[in-house]
């Protein structure tokens, strides 16, 4: 079973790589190669890198069997903090902004694990809290940055490579190593895949979930800093769609709503697919309205293929259907009794 | 919220509730006072609503007047209609993330058929509701056929609806050419009681009756509790599910009609706020996000809690920006208190 799941997720990853390469080829042909120019690739990778951390955050939240609807609000608030606190100095502002994400992640995690409230509801609530705080703090006006060096995080270059790309690569490498090669990281998969089994095995289920939410919150904070840095301003609007689009990107990248599936590589490919798609459609001249529609169709296609595929390959239909109710029992009774 | 309840009842040690993270109601609910916990646990939204009304009455002299009450009802009735459909789906352990954008798309279709195709009042409304029903059919059909997560399917279809609405309008505001169209949303049955309020309340009562007394309604609870058992005992699971998705989308369409005729105009993203608010209202009312429990009259209470809260905040001159904080805080503390009370 485990091997089957592994094989399937690798199949998904490979299918996504094929999808990505064919998209790149398609747009290169349609635009006569201008999407593959070094200038466009530079811009493309920079834009993708700026949106990547929030997808990584959502991936981790989905991985542990949760979900984080507050990522968009946290992203916006962290960006505003990173810009608004610049009178205190560059690094204090950036650090406070990232730690704000950590704080909200911890609040989410504590409410989910200690109060036993469903992750969807908790993060919906914190989304409203943070959005309210954001509106009160900014009065809906964008805040401009005052320290020029701040723009280096999101807009600068190191040896012709955009700085955010390097930052995201380092973060991804660390997270990938953590998830795959450490005991705690692998336990996160176990907790997300089957909380009952993980509990019986002796894993501190609640603490691992808490850790997952904290990582997700921190990554949203980092995403906010990168975005604010690339715009050199903190704005209220930036996070409006981030929660739902990050879920879409993570799902395209192989995550599951039921937890326990996905990984950093998948999340990166998901965000790259969406980034290449947007960039290519812009180059071809497709209007934003249809771009939104294309993203929606891809999401539905991936979800449908995934559902059909997993039903055919591994599970008889009855157990497939009974899964949500099994999960419910595990969330409500067994897991919440964990000391 | 837990504190205010403790104090209002004059029972339990209020000062301990902050420190004791796990059991804020430690001394409450043992022995003779048990019924209090049971009552609050089962009817918490109602208790909260009464508390809010009392607080409002104390704070502002105009708050408890019939006119203000009717205004609150009018203000929440559009959201309420969306939330009624959402509640039906939640009871059957399903979900609709597309309602917000379907509200917008239906408004766009109604006005666009009037301006571009020259449809009259009734045909344009029928076209709008038809589009809503088709989206419900699409959602329900895909969920039933593939067994995919309703959350993701409806997230995708909602985004699709948004994209269509944007492409149709070019993100401009559309105005209705038919003068009598606005009478639907602004018209009143009797003085102070708007059509939309009456529709909302009648639908809530009708659905509550359907949920308790008809085969269709009762099978929703079975689906939400144990779908396999429902299938094995002969329920038409697929049909019931698809019907409920269509119902939910139709209600979103009805809300789109209400909001468009109230304003006489529409934009593509007019319904965005209804998505999460409809879920919040259902959950505040006590409907379970995991299915198997809930009711549409509970959702009326949940919607009213939201409406009374925002009315109260406006009367108290709380800046509009801070209202989201209060909403989030109330929502979180209610679900938290609910979890605590349920564990007793």
* Contact residues on chain A for B170, CB-CB shorter than 8 A: 289
Q: What is the DSSP letter of A151?
A: G
Q: Which residue of chain A has the CA closest to B156?
A: A296
Integer CA distances (angstroms), A126 to A64, A74, A105, A241, B145, in order? 19, 9, 9, 16, 35
Distance of CA B130 to the CA centre of its chain: 21
Yes or no, beta carbons of B321 and A132 under 8 Å apart: yes
Question: What is the mean pLDDT of the segment spanning B14-37?
Answer: 56
- CB-defined contacts A:B, below 8 A: 156
Minimal Cβ distance to A300: which of B153, B231, B332: B153
Band of residue B30 on the pLDDT scale cut at 50, 70, 90: low
pLDDT above 80 (res B271): yes
pLDDT at residue A140 in the model: 81
Better-predicted residue by pLDDT, B18 or A305? A305
Express each pLDDT in B42-57 by its tens digit.
788 888 899 989 988 8
CB contact under 8 A, A128 and B328: yes
Is B157 within 8 Å of A117 when comparing Cβ atoms? no
Residues of A in contact with B171 (CB under 8 A): 289
B264 Rama class: left (phi>0) / alpha (psi -120 to 50) / beta: left
Report domain A31-337's class.
mainly alpha
Q: What angle do CA B327, B330, B334 make, to 5 degrees?
A: 140
Query: Cα distance from A308 to chain B (closest Cα, Å)?
Result: 6
**A258/chain B closest Cα distance in angstroms:** 9
Over 60: is that where the pLDDT of B16 sits?
Answer: no
Name, of B10-19, B275-284, B311-320, the range with top average pLDDT: B275-284
Quote the tokens at residue B13.
Answer: 């040690």
Sign of CA dihedral A248, A253, A255, A256: positive
Q: What pLDDT, on the 0 to 100 scale, is given for residue B14?
A: 39
Contact criterion met (CB < 8 Å) for A293 and B160: yes
DSSP string, A10-40: HHHHHHHHHHHHHHHHHHHHHTTTGGGSHHH
What is the least distance, in Å, from the CA of A166 to any CA of chain B?
A: 32
The pLDDT score that the predictor gives to residue B23 is 53
Which helix (H) or strand (E) is A162 found in, with range?
strand A161-162
Instruction: State the smallest CA–CA distance between residue A135 and chain B in angstroms.
Output: 5
Nearest to A255 by CA among A61, A52, A45: A61
Among A117, A125, A244, select the one facing B328 at the smallest CB separation: A125
> Distance between terminal CA atoms of chain B?
18
* pLDDT tens readout for residues B285-319: 888 888 888 899 999 999 999 999 988 888 888 88
Nearest to B324 among A135, A299, A320 (CB): A135
Q: How far does CA B270 lie from the centroid of its chain?
A: 16
Q: Identify whether the C-beta of residue B49 lies closer than 8 Å to the C-beta of residue B304.
A: yes
How far, CA to CA in Å, does B55 sit from each of A53, A126, B71?
44, 25, 18
From the candidates B142, B157, B163, B272, which should be mutated to test the interface with A, based on the most A CB atoms within 10 A? B163
| B146 contact residues in A (CB cutoff 8 A) | 303-304, 307-308, 311
What are the Cα distances from residue B191, in Å, to B64, B66, B70? 17, 11, 10
B132 has pLDDT over 90: yes
The burial of B213, by beta-carbon neighbours within 10 Å (0-12 exposed, 13-18 middle, 19 or more buried), is given as exposed
Task: Name which of B106, B163, B135 is nearest A286 in CA terms.
Answer: B163
From chain B, the residues in CB contact with A244 under 8 A are 97, 155, 159
CA distance A219 to chain B (A): 22
State how far the Cα of B344 lies from the Cα of A142, in Å rounded to an integer: 47
Which of chain A's residues have a Cβ under 8 Å away from the Cβ of B328?
A: 125-132
Q: B156, A248: Cβ pair inside 8 Å?
A: yes
Q: Which percentage of chain B shows pLDDT scores above 70?
A: 90
Which residues of chain A neighbour B153 with C-beta distances below 8 Å?
300, 303-304
Give chain A positions within 8 Å (CB) of B148.
Answer: 303-304, 306-307
CB contact under 8 A, A132 and B335: no
Domains of chain B: residue spans and CATH: 1-60+327-344 (no CATH), 67-315 (1.10.3470)
Per-residue pLDDT reduced to its tens digit, A120-130: 989 999 999 99
A303 neighbourhood in chain B, CB within 8 Å: 146, 148-149, 152-153, 156
Please check the confidence at residue B147 and state whether its pLDDT lies above 50.
yes
Which pLDDT belongs to residue A334?
34
- Residues constituting chain A: 339
Give the distance from residue A254's alpha carbon to the nearest chain B alpha carbon, in angstroms. 13
Q: Answer yes or no: do A124 and B331 touch at CB < 8 A.
A: yes
Residue whose C-alpha is closest to residue A219's, from A62, A17, A84: A62
Give the separation between CA A19 and CA A14, rounded to whole angstroms.
Answer: 9
CA distance A191 to A211: 11
Low-confidence ranges of chain A (pLDDT < 70): 1-13, 310-339
Our CA-based measurement puts residue A337 at a distance from the nearest CA of chain B, in whole angstroms, of 10
Q: How many CB atoms lie within 10 A of CB A143?
A: 20
Could you write out the three-class secondary structure of chain B? CHHHHHHHHCCCCHHHCCCCCCCCCCCCCCHHHHHHHHHHHHCHHHHHHHHHHHHHHHHCCCCCCHHHHHHHHHHHHHHHHHHHHHHHHHHCCCCCCCHHHHHHHHHHHHHHHHHCCCCCHHHHHHHHHHHHHHHHHHHHHHHHHHCCCHHHHHHHHHHHHHHHHHHHHCCCCEECCCCCHHHHHHCEEECCEEHHHHHHHHHHHHHHHHHHHCHHHHHHHHHHHCHHHHHHCCCCHHHHHHHHHHHHHHHHHHHHHHHHHHHCEECCCCCHHHHHHHHHHHHHHCCCCCCCCCCHHHHHHHHHHHHHHHHHHHHCCCCHHHHHHHHHHHHHHHHHHHHHHHCC
Chain-chain contact of A124 with B280 (C-beta, under 8 angstroms): yes
A150 three-state secondary structure: helix
Give DSSP secondary structure letters for A78-100.
Answer: HHHHHHHTGGG-HHHHHHHHHHH
HSE (CB half, 13 Å, CA atoms) of B27? 10
Whether the per-residue pLDDT at B5 is higher than 90: the answer is no
Q: For Cα atoms A304, A292, A222, give the angle at the middle one, nearest 5 degrees.
A: 95
Residue of B nearest to A326 (CA): B226
CA separation, residue B266 to residues A62, B6, B98, B263 (Å): 36, 46, 18, 7
A120: nearest CA in chain B? B289
Nearest CA in chain B to A296: B156
B205-256 tens-digit pLDDT: 999 999 999 999 999 999 999 989 999 998 999 999 999 999 999 999 999 9
Closest partner residue to B148 (CB to CB) among A125, A247, A307 is A307
pLDDT at residue B59 greater than cutoff 90: no
Encoding tokens for residue A117?
């409230």
d(CA B129, CA B172): 22
Q: Is the pTM of this model over 0.80?
A: yes
β-partners of residue B174 are B266
Sorting pLDDT into bands at 50, 70 and 90, what band is B38?
Answer: confident
Average model confidence (pLDDT) across chain B? 85
């Amino acid at each position: 079973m485990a091997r089957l799941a592994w094989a399937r997720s690798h199949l998904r990853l490979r299918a996504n790589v094929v999808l990505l390469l064919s998209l790149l080829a398609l747009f290169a042909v349609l635009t006569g190669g201008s999407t593959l120019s070094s200038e466009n690739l530079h811009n493309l990778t920079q834009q993708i890198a700026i949106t990547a951390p929030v997808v990584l955050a959502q991936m981790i939240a989905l991985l542990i069997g949760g979900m984080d609807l507050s990522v968009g609000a946290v992203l916006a608030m962290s960006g505003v903090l990173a810009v608004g606190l610049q009178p205190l100095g560059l690094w204090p502002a950036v650090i406070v902004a990232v730690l704000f994400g950590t704080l909200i992640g911890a609040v989410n995690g504590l409410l989910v694990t200690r109060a036993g409230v469903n992750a969807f509801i908790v993060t919906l609530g914190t989304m409203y809290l943070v959005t309210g705080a954001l509106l009160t703090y900014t009065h809906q006006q964008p805040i401009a940055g005052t320290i020029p060096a701040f723009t280096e995080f999101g807009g600068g270059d190191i040896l012709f490579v955009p700085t955010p790309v390097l930052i995201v690569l380092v973060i991804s490498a660390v997270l990938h190593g953590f998830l795959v090669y450490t005991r705690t990281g692998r336990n996160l998969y176990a907790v997300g895949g089957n909380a009952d089994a993980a509990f019986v095995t002796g894993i501190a289920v609640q603490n691992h979930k808490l850790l997952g939410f904290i990582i997700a919150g921190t990554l949203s904070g980092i995403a906010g800093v990168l975005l604010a840095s690339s715009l050199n301003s903190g704005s209220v609007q930036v996070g409006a769609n981030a929660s739902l689009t990050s879920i879409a990107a993570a799902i395209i990248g192989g995550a599951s709503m039921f937890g326990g599936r996905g990984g950093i590589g998948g999340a990166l490919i998901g965000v790259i697919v969406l980034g290449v798609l947007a960039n290519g459609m812009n180059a071809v001249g497709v209007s934003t309205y249809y771009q939104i529609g294309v993203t929606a169709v891809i999401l539905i296609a991936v979800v449908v293929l995934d559902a059909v595929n997993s039903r055919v390959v591994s599970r008889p239909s009855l157990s497939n259907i009974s899964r949500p109710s099994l999960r419910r029992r595990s969330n409500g009774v067994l897991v919440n009794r964990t000391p | 919220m837990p504190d205010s309840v403790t104090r209002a009842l004059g029972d339990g040690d209020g000062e301990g509730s902050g420190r004791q993270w796990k059991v804020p109601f430690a001394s409450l609910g043992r022995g003779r006072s048990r019924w209090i916990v049971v009552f609050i646990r089962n009817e918490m939204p109602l208790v909260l609503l009464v508390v809010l009304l009392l607080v409002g009455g104390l704070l502002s002299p105009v708050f408890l007047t019939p006119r203000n009450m009717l205004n609150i009802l009018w203000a929440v009735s559009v959201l309420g209609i969306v939330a009624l459909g959402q509640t039906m789906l939640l009871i059957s352990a399903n979900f609709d993330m597309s309602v917000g954008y379907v509200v917008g798309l239906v408004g766009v279709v109604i006005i666009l058929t009037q301006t571009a195709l020259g449809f009259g009042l009734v045909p344009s409304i029928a076209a709008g509701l038809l589009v809503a029903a088709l989206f419900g059919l699409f959602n329900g059909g895909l969920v039933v056929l593939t067994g995919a997560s309703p959350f993701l399917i409806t997230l995708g279809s909602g985004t699709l609806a948004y994209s269509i609405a944007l492409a149709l309008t070019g993100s401009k505001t559309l105005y209705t050419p038919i003068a009598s169209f606005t009478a639907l949303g602004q018209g009143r049955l009797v003085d102070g009681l708007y059509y939309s309020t009456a529709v909302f309340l009648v639908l809530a009562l009708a659905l509550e009756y359907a949920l308790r007394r008809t085969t269709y309604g009762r099978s929703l609870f079975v689906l939400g509790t144990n779908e396999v058992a429902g299938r094995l005992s002969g329920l038409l699971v697929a049909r019931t599910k698809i019907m409920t998705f269509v119902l939910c989308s139709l209600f979103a369409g009805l809300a789109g009609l209400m909001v468009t005729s109230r304003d006489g105009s529409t934009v593509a993203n007019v319904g965005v706020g209804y998505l999460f608010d409809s879920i919040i209202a259902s959950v505040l009312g006590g409907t379970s996000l995991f299915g198997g429990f809930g009711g549409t009259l509970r959702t009326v209470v949940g919607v009213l809690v939201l409406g009374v809260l925002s009315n109260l905040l406006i009367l108290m001159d709380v800046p509009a920006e801070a209202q989201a904080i209060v909403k989030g805080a109330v929502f979180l503390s209610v679900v938290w208190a609910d979890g605590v009370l349920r564990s007793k």
